[in-house]
A = this chain, B = another copy of it.
Amino acid sequence: MQWLNFDKLEAYKKLEGLAGRVDLKTVMAGEEGAKRVAAYQAPMAENMVFSYAARPVDDTLLDTLQILADEAQLTEKYAALYNGEVINTGEKRQVLHQLCRGQLGDDVIVDGVNKRAFYVEQQKKAAAFAEKVHSGEIVCEDGGKFTTAVQIGIGGSDLGPRALYLALENWAKVNGTLKMQARFISNVDPDDATSVLSDIDLAHALFIVVSKSGTTLETLTNEMFVKEALVKAGLDPKRHMAAVTSETSPLAGNPDYLEAVYMDDYIGGRYSSSSAVGAVILSLAFGPEVYAEILDGAAAEDALAKNTDIRQNPDMLDALIGVYERNFLGYAMTAVLPYSQALIRFPAHLQQLDMESNGKSVNRFGEPVSYQTGPILFGEPGTNGQHSFYQLLHQGTTIVPIQFVGFKKNQMDNDVVIENSTSQQKLSANVAAQIMAFACGKDAEDPNKYFAGGRGSSIIVGDKLTPGALGALLAHFENKVMFQGFVWNVNSFDQEGVQLGKVLAKRVLAKDTDGALTAYSELLGIF
């Protein structure tokens, strides 16, 4: 297996020569366009479809992207990853998040531990803990059941689990599986904790402190914040706190917590929703069965990602088209626009996933790369975005590739017919319309009303946003980011870029500053 820079590959030059050959406005028009929609689909897990007809590729480009996939050994690298090679070279670690949700290859043994067995054990521990809380075996001081679970964590301990919780909260309400309400405290802004605490029934609240090292500034601060509030309310923090942490952290095996469920160094924060980080809070909220369905959906998508034929591998295909857009069409951004209000925080999770993984300027050997890497990602649910920033997407001077997500049915089985269509039909009609408006544009005499078109998008379509579909979506984007990292030859699994700010913040708090750092500290009235 070879780890070559992208611009050293033969396929790089081939793609350079093909750049810009597809005029979306032409290929998406008329019956030709309809044929394209039928042809340019890849099946995803959970009966979902990745439709890429409106992205600026054709068969020649797809064939060349297949050559790139082969030359960059994407399938081999994925196999190396799930078979336990040290893919996170910077930190000299395996990358094992897929192992939480199924066995794709060999047993992975690290330091004598079978990691799959370890992850399953922790999932069982999370499930058993949740069941004890639900059954009333673990109760509050007043003998009542816990009604609210509050995750205290930041970054990957917050964004992924929060996005997944919000994605399924309404689904669970309708399906009778909302066992507990979940809330999240993340920001070191004291008003974040105060706001959540003032809004819940503290006597019946269970807090999950999530920190791998047990030393995350924001999380430990918020834990102390919450403990003070519990004590002030005459409650015993030990009866209200559980921990998700590594086995070597100060939170592990500590009698201050009702339970400690373990994570390890082989799953990065942004990939940790499938680990204990997601398992505890989501099992508490929805029950372990629902959590298992999320993992099953993700596992099915992981399995699809093994396909060497990119047309049968939606995650790899999405990755490759994205690379083509980034490096040969010069698009620096990606908008993720789910037509589902439940996915309101999913783009915020993807922002971390994508930008923290591939926002790098050096390759996996620490050498500067001479091409663009990870894009900037943002998004909001449609139709809301249509009444907001879509103006720029349609008529601005910068082109932003779009990833739509849509579902045939809504989650809550409640809808009304108004003017001959349901709200769900209106929602879906809008996303169909947007794809075509972006692709084909519209001529007009009034130049204000002219739409250039040629703005590409793909759409993932599912039946309904169920736990399984959500898991498949989660894995799709994780795998997409992984494959792009392989192509760009970067290490997608470290995040050295977050360290410098931490070091400087500590210096401010220790009053060990000079120059402009002192001046800013004074401006902000820190001391």
**What's the Cα separation between A383 and B219 when bound, in Å?**
11
Q: Is A143 among interface residues, defined by CB-CB distance under 8 A?
A: no
User: What does the 1/0 interface line of A433-457 toward B look like (CB < 8 Å)?
Assistant: 1111101011000111111100000
Report if A11 contacts B (CB, 8 A).
no
A25 to B: closest C-beta gap in Å: 12
Query: How many Å from the CB of A91 to the closest CB on chain B?
Result: 9
Which residue of B190, B371, B436, B508 contacts A517 across the interface (Cβ within 8 Å)? B436
A1 within 8 A of B: no
Give min CB distance, A209 to chain B, whole Å.
Answer: 14
Interface stretch, picked from A103-111, A118-126, A154-162, A303-311, is A154-162
Q: Which of B221, B426, B500 contacts A221 (CB 8 A)?
A: B426
Closest to A392 in B: B359
Contact sample, A vs B, 6 pairs, CB 8 Å cutoff = A90-B448, A217-B426, A218-B426, A359-B389, A362-B395, A429-B505
Shortest beta-carbon contacts, A-B, top 5: A359-B392, A155-B387, A33-B516, A433-B504, A359-B396
A516 vs chain B, min Cβ distance (A): 3
Determine if A424 is an interface residue (Cβ-Cβ < 8 Å): yes
Within the complex, what minimum Cβ distance (angstroms) separates A453 from chain B?
9
Which B residues touch A479, using CB under 8 A?
none
CB of A35, distance to nearest CB on chain B (Å): 8
A391 and B497: CB pair below 8 A?
yes
**Additional pairs, 8, CB under 8 Å, beyond known A426-B509, A441-B500:** A155-B386, A170-B191, A191-B412, A348-B388, A351-B380, A355-B393, A393-B497, A432-B526
Q: CB-defined interface of A414-432 with B at 8 Å, one 1/0 digit per residue?
A: 1110111111111111111
Smallest beta-carbon distance A131→chain B, Å? 26
Q: Which residue in chain B gives the minimum CB-CB distance to A421?
A: B509
Residues 376-391 of A, flagged 1 when their CB comes within 8 A of B and 0 if not, give 1110111110111111
Q: Judge whether A213 is part of the interface by a CB distance below 8 angstroms.
A: no
Contact assessment for B386 and A34 in the assembled complex, using a CB-CB cutoff below 8 Å: no
**Copies of this chain in its oligomeric complex:** 2
Residue A132, interface by CB 8 Å: no
- Distance in angstroms from A363 CB to nearest chain B CB is 9
- Residue tally, chain A, CB below 8 Å to B: 164
Shortest distance from the beta carbon of A456 to any chain B beta carbon, whole Å = 13
Contact B519 A412 (CB under 8 A): no
A92-108, CB under 8 A of B: which get 1 and which 0? 00000000000000000
Interface assignment of A59: CB less than 8 Å from any CB of chain B? no
How far is the CB of A483 from the nearest CB of chain B, in Å?
Answer: 18
Verify if A374 is at the interface (C-beta below 8 Å from B): yes
* B34 and A432 contact, CB distance less than 8 A: no
Kindly state the separation between the CA atoms of A55 and B36 in the bound complex, as whole angstroms.
47
- A495 an interface residue at 8 Å Cβ cutoff? yes
A206 nearest CB across to chain B (Å): 21
Q: Are B378 and A433 in contact (CB under 8 A)?
A: no
Which A residues from 511 to 527 make CB contacts under 8 A with B? 514-521, 523-527
Q: Is the CB of B392 within 8 A of A355?
A: yes
Asked if A501 contacts B390 (CB within 8 A), the reply is yes
Any B CB within 8 A of the CB of A224: yes
Which of chain B's residues has its CB closest to A524's CB?
A: B428
Known: A372-B398, A520-B435. Contact between A390 and B498, CB under 8 A?
yes
Q: Does A4 contact B (CB under 8 A)?
A: no
Q: Flag whether A30 is at the interface (Cβ < 8 A).
A: yes
B191 adjacent to A430 (CB under 8 Å): no
Chain B residues with Cβ below 8 Å from A312 are none
